[in-house]
Amino acid sequence: MFQSEGSNLLFKDSTKCLQEVIKGQSFKDFLGKEYYDTVTSLKTCSTSVSELEKACTFHTCQRKV
């Protein structure tokens, strides 16, 4: 399905298909509480903003209010 030269990709080159999410199901429900809690706990300090995040949110319309 995919062929790439890079690493740290969203999908592996060996990916055969993508799973369909049930209509109306939230991403939190789809991923599961344990996974969601783990990922959200990675950024618990509001002052820890990566350079990539800063670059992606420099425009005022992309900032959280």
Domain boundaries, the chain: 1-65
Q: What is the pLDDT of residue 60?
A: 55
Q: What is the pLDDT of residues 22-35, one digit of tens each?
A: 899 998 899 899 99
Residue percentage of the chain with pLDDT more than 90: 11
> Looking at the predicted structure, is the pLDDT value of residue 50 above 90?
no
Q: What is the pTM of this model?
A: 0.41
Longest dimension (CA), the chain: 40
CA angle 1, 25, 11 (to 5 degrees): 20
pLDDT tens for 4-21 read 777 777 778 888 888 888
Say what the pLDDT of residue 39 is. Answer: 84
